[in-house]
Structure 1
C-alpha cells in the first residue's frame, strides 16, 4: 500500500507482513545496510525480541537487497516501510512514528540498523516505558553499559561537546546523546508541545530535538545501560561524514539549544 505525502510525513510504501501484535514497536531506519541489518535481525530473532515488540523496518530506499521479503518474514519483521520522497534519517523516523501512532502503539524504540547496538536490550526499554518514563536514552557510558572499539574522536566529541550541549538544553544530565538507541512514549510523541511530524526534521534534527523536549515540558526521562560495539577492523559503519557531517551536527545542536525546532 502506498501512503501519499502529507504535512510532516513523507510519501511511503508499506508492506505489512503481520497485523499489530504487541503494545510497542521497534523502528529500525536503514539504507543499504547489507549484511549488517540481517545480522541485527538474527540477533533479535535469537533473543525473541518480537515477543516484546513489533519490528518495523523504516527503509530509505535500499537497493542492495537487504530488504528482501522472505528473509524479513523469516526473521519476524512485522512490517517494511519504504520512504518515497525527500529526506534522510529524520524523514524515515517521521514515517515510522506516524505509522506507529496510527497503529496505536503505547511507545516506540528506535535503533540503528548497522548491528552496532544491543538489540537484545529492547525489553529493558519497554520496562521503563511501562514505569511511566517518556524518554529513555540508551547509554554505553553509564554503569552497566559497554563501549567497545569506539573511535577515540567519537568518544571525545560525545563526552566533551554533544552530551554537554544536549544536557544544558534539556536541563537534565545525559551521557550518550548521539546514540539513536532510545525509546519514546506515545504520550510524548502525541503532545501538542512536541509535534515531531514536521518537515523541518529531515536529517539528524529530530534526534537532537526529541533528546531535549521531554524534560523541557516536564516529562520524565532517564538513561539505561546498553552496548554499542564498533568493528575492530575495517570501515566504521556510519552515515555521518567526518567534516561535513559533524559540521551539520554542530549547527543542529546550536539551533536546538536556541529553541529553533520548538513548535
Structure 2
C-alpha cells in the first residue's frame, strides 16, 4: 500500500490503522515529502510499532506523481506482485480495499480503479464546485483522449507490478493529479486490462486539500497535448492505410493490364 503524505499528521495514524485492519496481510509504505508538520516522525513511530509499516522519506514536496513512482520502484525492488495507491486523508476508504483486490484477482485486471463516476459509485460531502470540476475533468479526458474510462483522475488504484513495467513509468513526467490520467492512458495504449469498481468517496474531514489552480492547469494542458498527439497518430495511421490500399489497388490494376 503506497500512502503519500504531506502534512497529514492527524490523519495518518487513523488511515494506517484502518488499512492494517482491512487487509492485515498487506505491507504499508508511507511516502513522506518532508512534511513540516512532523508527519514523517509520526510515520517513523508507526513503523517502529509495526514491522509491516515502512517509511520512505523524500527531500521535499515534489508532487504526487513522483511520490507514487518512488513507491512503485520500492515495491519492484522487493518483489511484490501488486501495489495499491491510497490517499492518507481518509477520502479513500480502506474498508473497500478487499473489493478492489478481489476484483484484480478474479478478473485478472492489470489496473483496477476505484471509480466515483461509474454506476454504484458516489461522492459524499463534496461542494458543488469540486463535483463539477471532477466530472468536467473526466469528461474532458474521455473526449480529448478518446478513452472509455469514466474516472481516469481517480487515485484509489490497484496495479500489477508486471503491468507497470510494461508502461515505461520512467518516462512519466506528470506532477499532480494528471499523473492518474497519464498512467491510465499508458495502460490502455499497452492493451492492458483496466477495470473500474464503484467506490464511495468521502471528502476529508481534517487537513486541507492539495488541489490548486496550478494542478488544474497542468492537467488541462497535458491532457490537451496528449489528445493532439493521439489524434495526429490516428491521422497518420489512416493516411498510411489509405496509401497502402491505393498501392494494392494500383498493383492489381497493373497486373490486370499485363494479363490482358
What's the TM-score, normalizing by structure 2?
0.77
Counterparts of 1:171 and 1:133 in 2: how far apart (Å)? 21
Alpha-carbon shift at residue 248 of structure 1 (Å): 2.2
Q: Is the 8 A contact 1:170 1:211 kept in 2?
A: no
Q: Is the 8 A contact 1:137 1:181 kept in 2?
A: yes
Q: Residues 28-49 of structure 1: CA distance to partner in whole angstroms, max 9, x if unpaired? A: 11111121222212222343x2
Q: Which residue of 2 aligns with 1:190?
A: 165
Q: Is the 8 A contact 2:35 2:60 kept in 1?
A: no
Alpha-carbon shift at residue 227 of structure 1 (Å): 1.8
Q: Does 1:156 align with 2:126?
A: no
Alpha-carbon shift at residue 86 of structure 1 (Å): 7.1
Q: Does 1:253 align with 2:218?
A: no
Match of 1:50 among 24, 35, 39: 24
Q: Does 1:238 align with 2:213?
A: no
Match of 2:101 among 102, 110, 126: 126
Q: Does 1:206 align with 2:179?
A: yes
Match of 1:229 among 192, 202, 212: 202
- Unaligned ranges ≥5, structure 1: 1-25
Distance of aligned partners of 1:185 and 1:224 in 2 relative to their CA distance in 1, 3 Å threshold: same
Q: Which residue of 2 aligns with 1:114?
A: 89
Alpha-carbon shift at residue 203 of structure 1 (Å): 3.4
Counterparts of 1:170 and 1:259 in 2: how far apart (Å)? 9
Which one has the largest radius of gyration? 2
Distance of aligned partners of 1:86 and 1:31 in 2 relative to their CA distance in 1, 3 Å threshold: closer
Counterparts of 2:51 and 2:61 in 1: how far apart (Å)? 28
Alpha-carbon shift at residue 199 of structure 1 (Å): 6.3
Q: Which residue of 1 aligns with 2:190?
A: 217
What's the TM-score, normalizing by structure 1?
0.76
Q: Is the 8 A contact 1:133 1:221 kept in 2?
A: yes
Q: Which residue of 2 aligns with 1:59?
A: 32
Helix, strand or coil at the partner of 1:115? coil
Q: Is the 8 A contact 2:111 2:158 kept in 1?
A: yes
Helix, strand or coil at the partner of 1:240? coil
Q: Is the 8 A contact 1:83 1:95 kept in 2?
A: no
RMSD between superposed Cα atoms in Å: 2.4
Q: Residues 129-183 of structure 1: CA distance to partner in whole angstroms, max 9, x if unpaired? A: 2231111111123333331112211221222x32123334665422223221111
Number of equivalences: 227
Counterparts of 1:45 and 1:97 in 2: how far apart (Å)? 19
Q: Which residue of 2 aligns with 1:34?
A: 9
Q: Which structure has the highest strand share of the two? A: 1
Distance of aligned partners of 1:78 and 1:230 in 2 relative to their CA distance in 1, 3 Å threshold: same
Distance of aligned partners of 1:156 and 1:199 in 2 relative to their CA distance in 1, 3 Å threshold: closer
Counterparts of 1:149 and 1:76 in 2: how far apart (Å)? 35
Alpha-carbon shift at residue 255 of structure 1 (Å): 2.5
